[in-house]
């Protein structure tokens, strides 16, 4: 009798677990297919829903799906859909892609969901904001922010955008020292400013170092993480140890606009001070200058007027006058140049910087200057400029490729980066419509031997551990089937 009762008990448990397993399999089958295959599919379902309540239920389900995927704005191949959910009379989006002029979002009938779909390159990175009833706001559905000269913006990363690991601060990477020169006084400009000087880790006065002068210097530290980039590249052997001088403007619009007095400040006052204070190599071939926008303009001007002072000149999104391009057409200069520009910089203060930089590129090529030029799918922003500092530095001051890294790094890197590898090859992204110094590019296709920019969809799984939230219907089904197997064996024995 006891054996009979035990068999009935086991059969009851067996049936319960079998039903549980079937339910899990059913749930798994439903969850394996997303309710919405694309934004257009979602849009069709919402438009076909007969009531406002059913429409909103679909909207909430779709928003939940995209939030879980961290995919707002919604990116699908080259398509990007900006959305806003809320009560409003008008909603617009403004950003790098439209000259920061608002474009209207469309409202889905009988809902509070607004949207607009645009097409971008798959590797684009862009700043933007929403304008709701005339108020400029950050995208409430997007936690990714990027600091700009006028405060934070929301940041769009398209699926194939490559994050630059050099901009991040790592605990294992030694930091250089930043010293401050207060009240640097210029007789040429009759003003004062604060200069900051980066000294590499293990700075040694018995050695001599190349020097690099950065316009808008304090912003390059605060908004572009220039010091982090230097620390990372030096640590990984990608660049030489260098001294970097960060120079802020006092009156930017005047000083950076081909101002010869400002160039005299640099060459006759600041450079002698730096060379006498720090252990620099006091030679033009080991001294460079760079800047962005107007800072790029004054840097290019320095190359023309002060060739005897600089051997390297870099311009990011240079805001050139056509007269400066004409000056460069006169002949070849004994300077190594770097130029980049964003393909979305076609309307910056009513100026097409993309067209201007293409003209400068063609001029550089025609006169035979040594230079590197690239176009990137970004806008006129610090997010753009900081991502290409490694391009500039590795071109001007290449290292020996020997990393000081002896530590396991996987646990210190965010999911959007990868551990630096031994070698990688990077080529330029110049479009076929522009004339590029192909001889130079061919000979320098390894300008970044170890800086691997990884896709935002890449993840580091080397330290993955399972938590309670990782338990899926598959794992539950496995447990159920295991219990069923044990019960079947027990029944056979009894």
Q: How many residues does the chain have?
A: 494
Whether 353 and 389 map to the same domain: the answer is yes
Give the closest residue to 302 by CA, choosing from 346, 365, 259.
259
CATH of the domain at 361: 3.40.50.1820
Better-scored residue on pLDDT, 193 or 29: 193
429: pLDDT strictly greater than 80: no
Q: Is residue 318 part of a domain?
A: yes
Q: Which residues lie below 8 Å from residue 192, measured CB to CB, with a gap of 6+? A: 183, 184, 185, 186, 250
Residue 234 parent element (H or E): helix 226-235
Whether 147 and 170 map to the same domain: the answer is no
How far, in Å, CA of 491 to CA of 411, rounded?
A: 48
Instruction: Please spell the DSSP secondary structure of 123-178, one letter per residue.
Output: T-EEEEEEEETTEEE--TT---EEEETTEEEEEEE-TTPEE-GGGS--TTSPP-EE
Q: Which residues lie below 8 Å from residue 69, measured CB to CB, with a gap of 6+? A: none
CATH of the domain at 81: 2.60.40.10
Q: What is the pLDDT of residue 472?
A: 40
Q: Is residue 14 part of a domain?
A: no
98: pLDDT strictly greater than 50: yes
Q: How many CA atoms lie within 13 A of 287 on its CB side?
A: 23
Whether 143 and 176 map to the same domain: the answer is no
* Band of residue 125 on the pLDDT scale cut at 50, 70, 90: very high
Among 131, 160, 189, where does a domain finish?
Answer: 160
How far, in Å, CA of 308 to CA of 349, rounded?
A: 33
Return the minimum-mean-pLDDT range out of 277-281, 403-407, 431-435, 478-482. 431-435
Whether 264 and 197 map to the same domain: the answer is yes
Give the closest residue to 299 by CA, choosing from 368, 249, 228, 346.
249
Domain extent at residue 341: 165-455
* Band of residue 350 on the pLDDT scale cut at 50, 70, 90: confident
Whether 308 and 327 map to the same domain: the answer is yes
Query: 50-73: buried (b, 16+ CB within 10 Å) or exposed (e) per residue?
Result: eeeeebbebbeebbeebeeeeebb
Q: Is residue 7 part of a domain?
A: no
Q: 8 phi and psi, to 5 degrees?
A: -65, -40
Q: Is residue 27 part of a domain?
A: no
Whether 249 and 343 map to the same domain: the answer is yes
Q: Is residue 250 part of a domain?
A: yes
Q: Is residue 293 part of a domain?
A: yes
Q: What is the pLDDT of residue 407?
A: 59
Whether 258 and 380 map to the same domain: the answer is yes
User: Strand, coil or helix: what is 292?
Assistant: strand
Measuring CA to CA, how many Å separate 215 from each of 101, 115, 225, 328? 28, 40, 14, 21
Q: 59 phi and psi, to 5 degrees?
A: -60, -45
* Band of residue 455 on the pLDDT scale cut at 50, 70, 90: very low
Counting the structural domains of the chain, the total is: 2
Among 134, 160, 186, where does a domain finish?
Answer: 160
Mean pLDDT of 335-360: 96
461: pLDDT strictly greater than 50: no
pTM listed for this prediction: 0.77
Whether 169 and 138 map to the same domain: the answer is no
Q: Is residue 247 part of a domain?
A: yes
Q: What is the pLDDT of residue 8?
A: 59
Which burial class, exposed, middle or buried, applies to 452 when counting CB atoms under 10 A from its CB (0-12, 13-18, 19+)?
A: buried
What does the pLDDT look like over 312-339, one tens digit per residue?
999 999 999 889 999 999 899 999 999 9
What does the pLDDT look like over 26-76, one tens digit per residue?
444 444 346 899 999 999 999 999 999 999 999 999 999 999 999 999 999
User: Strand, coil or helix: what is 457?
Assistant: coil
Q: Is residue 65 part of a domain?
A: yes
User: Strand, coil or helix: what is 227?
Assistant: helix
Whether 228 and 197 map to the same domain: the answer is yes
Whether 105 and 235 map to the same domain: the answer is no
Whether 278 and 144 map to the same domain: the answer is no
Whether 279 and 138 map to the same domain: the answer is no
């Amino acid at each position: 009798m006891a054996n009979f009762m035990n068999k009935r008990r086991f059969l009851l448990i067996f049936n319960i677990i079998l039903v549980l397993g079937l339910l899990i399999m059913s749930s798994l089958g439903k969850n394996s297919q997303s309710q919405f295959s694309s934004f257009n599919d979602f849009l069709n379902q919402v438009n076909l829903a007969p009531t406002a309540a059913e429409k909103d239920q679909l909207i909430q389900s779709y928003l939940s799906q995209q939030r879980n995927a961290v995919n707002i704005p919604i990116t699908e191949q080259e398509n990007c859909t900006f959305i806003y959910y809320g009560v409003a009379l008008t909603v617009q989006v403004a950003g790098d892609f439209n000259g920061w002029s608002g474009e209207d979002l469309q409202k889905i009938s009988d809902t509070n969901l607004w949207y607009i779909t645009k097409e971008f390159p798959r590797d684009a990175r862009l700043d933007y904001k929403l304008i709701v009833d005339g108020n400029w706001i950050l995208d409430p559905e997007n936690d990714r922010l990027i600091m700009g000269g006028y405060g934070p913006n929301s940041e769009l990363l398209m699926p194939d955008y490559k994050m630059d690991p050099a901009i991040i601060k790592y605990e294992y990477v030694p930091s250089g020292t930043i010293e401050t020169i207060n009240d640097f006084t210029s007789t040429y400009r009759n003003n004062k400013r604060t200069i900051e000087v980066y000294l590499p880790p293990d700075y040694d006065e018995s050695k001599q170092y190349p020097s690099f002068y950065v316009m808008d210097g304090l912003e390059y530290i605060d908004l572009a993480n220039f010091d982090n980039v230097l620390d990372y590249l030096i640590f990984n052997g990608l660049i030489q140890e260098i001294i970097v001088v960060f120079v802020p403007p006092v009156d930017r619009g005047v000083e950076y606009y081909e101002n010869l007095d400002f160039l005299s400040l640099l060459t006759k006052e600041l450079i002698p001070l730096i060379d006498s204070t720090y252990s620099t190599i006091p030679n033009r071939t080991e001294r460079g200058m760079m800047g962005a926008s107007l800072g790029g303009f004054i840097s290019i001007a320095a190359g023309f007027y002060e060739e005897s002072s600089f051997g390297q000149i870099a311009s990011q999104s240079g805001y050139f006058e056509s007269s400066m391009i004409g000056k460069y057409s006169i002949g070849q200069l004994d300077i190594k140049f770097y130029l980049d520009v964003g393909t979305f910089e076609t309307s910056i203060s009513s100026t097409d910087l993309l067209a201007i930089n293409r003209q400068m590129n063609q001029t550089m090529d025609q006169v035979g200057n040594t230079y590197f030029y690239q176009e990137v799918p970004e806008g006129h922003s610090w997010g753009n400029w900081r991502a290409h500092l490694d391009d500039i530095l590795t071109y001007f001051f290449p290292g020996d490729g020997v990393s000081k890294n002896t530590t396991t790094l996987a646990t210190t890197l965010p999911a959007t980066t990868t551990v630096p590898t031994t070698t990688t090859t990077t080529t330029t992204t110049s479009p076929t419509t522009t004339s590029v110094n192909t001889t130079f590019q061919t000979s320098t296709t390894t300008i970044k031997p170890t800086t691997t920019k990884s896709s935002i969809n890449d993840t580091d799984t080397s330290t993955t551990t399972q938590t309670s939230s990782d338990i899926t219907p598959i794992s539950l089904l496995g447990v159920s089937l295991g219990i069923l197997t044990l019960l079947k064996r027990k029944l056979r024995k009894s």
